[in-house]
Amino acid sequence: MADTDKSIDDLSPEDRKKVQELMEKDAKTERRVAGPWLWFTSALSAAMVLLYFYGAGFQALGTQYHLGIYVLITFVLVFLLYPAGGRTAVAVMSVATGALISVAVSSFLIFDSPTAFYQQITQFRETWDYDGLAKALADDFGALRWTLILIVPFSLVLLPLDQMLARRFHNAPTASDVIMATGIALMVLYWISQFEALNYRAGAENELDRLVSIIGLALSLEICRRVLGWSITIIGLLMLCFGLFGPYLPELFAHRGFSFERLATALFITTNGVFGVMASVLATYVILFIFFGAFLQKSGAGRFFIDLPLAIAGKSAGGPAKVAVISSALFGSVSGSAIANTVSSGAFTIPMMKRAGFKPHVAGAIEPAASIGGAFLPPIMGAGGFLMAELTGLPYSQILILAVGPALLYFLSVFFMVHFEAKKQGLIGMPGELLPDWRDVLKTGWYFALPLVIITVLMLMGRSPGNAAFWATLSCIAVSWVHKDTRMGPREIWDAIQVGARNTLIIGATMGVIGVIVGTISLTGMGLKFSDLMISMAGNNLLLALGLVAIASLILGLGVPVTAAYLILAVLSVPALGALGLPLITGHMIVYWLSQSSNITPPVCMAAYAGAAIAGADPWKTGWTSMRFSKMLFVTPLLFAYIPAILLDGTAFQIATAFFSATLGTIAFGALAMGFLRRRTRIHEWIMLGVATFLLYWPDFISDAAGLAIVALVWWLQRDAKPTPAAVAPA
C-alpha cells in the first residue's frame, strides 16, 4: 500500500480522499501497527518472502510445508492486520472467541481430550436423531452444558476488553484477534503435522480431524470477510448450504446432500478445499511474482515505464492518452491488480490527459480500460495465468506464448480508440520541448527492462516460473545500483519485502471461500450439471453459449474478485464449452478474458471508479465510458472461439494470416467503436465500417481485400471532413 500512497500524493486532498475510499472499498484498510506488533508482523512477512524465495531458488519445500506455511502466515497476518469491523462486528467476534476458548477449555479440562469432547457431541447428536431431543438432553448433554455455560464468562471478559482496545488502540489487534490468529495457526499446524496421516485416512477421518476442520473452516471464512467483505463470503456460505441441503433443492440442482462434518473435512483438511488449487497456485507462482513486482517498483523502474511511452507517443494526436495505454501495458504486465495499476500510473497520466483537453470522465475512463489489459499481457498476467496453467496442465511458458498476441491486440484496440477519440475532439499532442527524447530515455534507463527480459527468457528456456521470478527479483536489486539515486540498500530491500508480503494478503484471503466454492462444486458434481444446463440453454449454439458465459461473468463479478470469478467460471463453464467443440485451452482463455469485465463494467467497475476519483469525474459516467474503450474485451473471446489460429492452433501460414487480419480488423474496430474515421460517421458509414470490421477479422485475403475496400470507400465518402479545431491548448 505504501507505493500506492506515494503515487497519489500529488492529487488534491479531495481527490486523494476519494481514491483512498475506493482502495479501502476494494480491500478493507489494514491496520498501521506499531511497536512489538509491527516487529512481529514484519518478521512474519519477511519469513514468508525469504522462505519462498529459498524454495524457488535453491530447494523446493515438501507439499505440506509449501502449502501450509503460506496459509498459516497469510491467515495469521490477516487476523493481526485487518480489523473485524465496527463495534457490532467486534462484539460478535468477542462472543465467537469466547466460544472458541470454551471449546478449548472443555476439550482439556472437562473432558479428557478434544477427541473425547467431540465424541460426546457426536453421541448427543445421534441420540437426538434416533430418540428425540428430550432423550438426548437427559442422557448425553451432561458435561456439554458446561461448554455452553463457559461461553458467558469468557464473552463477558472479552466484550469490554475488545471494545476498549479497538477504541483506544485502533491500530493494534484486539484480544479476540490474537486468540483467533492463534487458533487458525494451531489448525494449520495440525494439518501440516498430520499431512501424511490425513491422506491415509481420507474419507475415514477421526473426531479430532472433524473438530479441527470445523474450527478451521469457520476461521477461514472470517478471514475472507475481514479483507473482502460480505459479498464473496455470503457466496461461500450459500455454497455450504447448497452442499448441506441438496435433497431439498429443485430437481435441476438436487443432489444427495452431505453432513456438515463431511463438508468441513472435505473443504479444510483435504487438498480440494482451503489447501486446494487456489492455495497451490498462490504459493507456487503468484506470491513470487508479487514479490518480484514489489522489487521492480522499488528499483526505480516506474519512472522509466512512464518516460519511454511519453517519448514515443507524446507528440501524436491525444498523446497523453496513448502514453497512458503504453505505460499501463508496462505497469500491468507486472501487476496483479487493475485498480492498483489505475492508481499507480493514473495519478500521472490522468491529469496529463485532462491538461491535453480530454474531458474528465474520458481521461478517467481511458486509464482503467488500458489497465485491465495487464491481466492479459505476459510475463505475469496477474494470478489468472498461473491458475490456467494449473487447471489445463500446460506449462506456464506455453500459456505465456499463447497470451502475448491477443494481449497486444487488446492494447492496439485501446490505442486506436484513443487516437480516433482525440481526432474527434480535435486534440493534439504535447509540445516536443516538453517531452524527453526516446534515445535519451533508452540510453539512461534501458537496463530497467532487464528483469522483465530475464524472467521471460528463463521461462521460455524451461525454468519454472518460481525460479525465473527468483532470479529476476535478484536482477532488480542489481539494476537499481546502476544509478546512485535508485540504489536498493538494506532499507529499500526490507521495504520491498514488506510491500510484497502485504500485497499477497488480499488475494490470499480468498483461499477459504474459493476452497469452499470449488470444493463444494466438485463434491456435489454441480460442475457437470451446470455444463449440461448451459448446453441445454444454448441449444448447442456456441455463440449463445459464449453470451451466457459473458452474462455469468458479469453477475459473478458483482461480488467476487476477478481471479476468483475466473476460477469459479472455469470449473463451471469450460466443460460446457468443451462439449461444444472447443479445445480446453480455448475454453479457459475465453472464460479468463470475460472474467475481467467487472473491473470496467458498471455497476461495480472499481478500476473505473478509481480513475473517476483521480479525474474528478462522475463515477457512473466514467464507468460506461471505460466500457466503450474496453469493447475488445468481448470481441477477443469470439476470435478465440471461431479463429483457432489466434491461439496458435494451425500452420505458420494460418497463424500469420490470422494475426494480419486481426490487426487490420482491430484498427477498423477502433474507428467503428468511436464512430469516427476522418470525421464523425453517419449511420450508413457506421454500418459499412461494421461490415468491414467483420470481413477484416476473418483470416482470408479475399475478405481482407473486401474489408479494406469498404474502409477505403468510407474514407472517400468522408472527403468533406474539415479539420477539427483543437479543444484546448496543451499545457
Q: Compute the distance between CA of residue 640 and CA of residue 594 in angstroms, rounded to an integer.
A: 12
Mean pLDDT of the chain: 86
| Chain centre distance of CA 557 | 11
With contact defined as beta carbons under 8 Å apart, do 323 and 352 qualify? yes
- pTM value? 0.83
Is a pLDDT exceeding 70 seen at residue 17? no
Closest C-alpha among 401, 477, 390 to residue 53: 477
- Which range scores top for mean pLDDT: 49-63, 566-580, 697-711? 697-711
Where are the domains positioned within the chain? 31-266, 279-501, 652-731
Sign of the CA dihedral running 191, 196, 199, 201: negative
* Inter-CA distances, 518 with 522, 570, 671, Å: 6, 10, 41
Q: Compute the distance between CA of residue 178 and CA of residue 181 in angstroms, rounded to an integer.
A: 5
Is a pLDDT exceeding 90 seen at residue 651? yes
Is a pLDDT exceeding 80 seen at residue 33? yes
Closest C-alpha among 653, 383, 400 to residue 504: 383
pLDDT tens digits, one per residue of 172-200: 999 999 999 999 999 999 999 999 999 88
* pLDDT at residue 599, rounded to an integer: 74
Q: Compute the distance between CA of residue 477 and CA of residue 299 in angstroms, rounded to an integer.
A: 6
* pLDDT at residue 731, rounded to an integer: 37
Helices (H) and strands (E) in the chain, counts: 36, 0
Sign of the CA dihedral running 406, 557, 330, 500: negative
Phi, psi for residue 676 in degrees, rounded to 5? -155, 135
pLDDT tens digits, one per residue of 357-410: 888 899 889 988 888 888 888 877 777 888 898 889 899 889 989 999 999 999
pLDDT tens digits, one per residue of 290-340: 888 889 888 888 778 778 888 887 778 778 888 888 888 877 666 656 776
pLDDT tens digits, one per residue of 610-648: 788 888 888 888 888 988 899 999 999 999 999 999 999
* pLDDT at residue 10, rounded to an integer: 54
Amino acid at 392: T
* pLDDT at residue 1, rounded to an integer: 45
Residue whose entry in the numeric block shows the C-alpha cell 529499500: 492
Sorting pLDDT into bands at 50, 70 and 90, what band is 671?
Answer: very high
Sorting pLDDT into bands at 50, 70 and 90, what band is 730?
Answer: very low
Name residue 676's beta-bridge partners: 680
Is a pLDDT exceeding 90 seen at residue 471? yes
Q: Compute the distance between CA of residue 668 and CA of residue 707 in angstroms, rounded to an integer.
A: 9
Q: Compute the distance between CA of residue 528 and CA of residue 434 in angstroms, rounded to an integer.
A: 59
Sorting pLDDT into bands at 50, 70 and 90, what band is 567?
Answer: confident
* pLDDT at residue 728, rounded to an integer: 44
Sorting pLDDT into bands at 50, 70 and 90, what band is 603?
Answer: low
pLDDT tens digits, one per residue of 221-272: 999 999 888 888 998 999 999 999 989 988 878 888 899 999 999 999 988 8
With contact defined as beta carbons under 8 Å apart, do 724 and 424 qualify? yes
Is a pLDDT exceeding 70 seen at residue 723? no
Closest C-alpha among 297, 288, 287, 281 to residue 332: 297
Is a pLDDT exceeding 60 seen at residue 507? yes
Beta strands, E only, 204-312: none
Sorting pLDDT into bands at 50, 70 and 90, what band is 522?
Answer: confident
Is a pLDDT exceeding 60 seen at residue 22? no
* pLDDT at residue 336, rounded to an integer: 54
Amino acid at 710: I
Sorting pLDDT into bands at 50, 70 and 90, what band is 729?
Answer: very low
Q: Compute the distance between CA of residue 672 and CA of residue 683 in angstroms, rounded to an integer.
A: 11
pLDDT tens digits, one per residue of 133-183: 787 777 767 778 888 999 999 999 999 999 999 999 888 999 999 999 999
With contact defined as beta carbons under 8 Å apart, do 318 and 366 qualify? no
Average pLDDT of the residues in 401-430? 90
With contact defined as beta carbons under 8 Å apart, do 412 and 697 qualify? no
* pLDDT at residue 316, rounded to an integer: 80
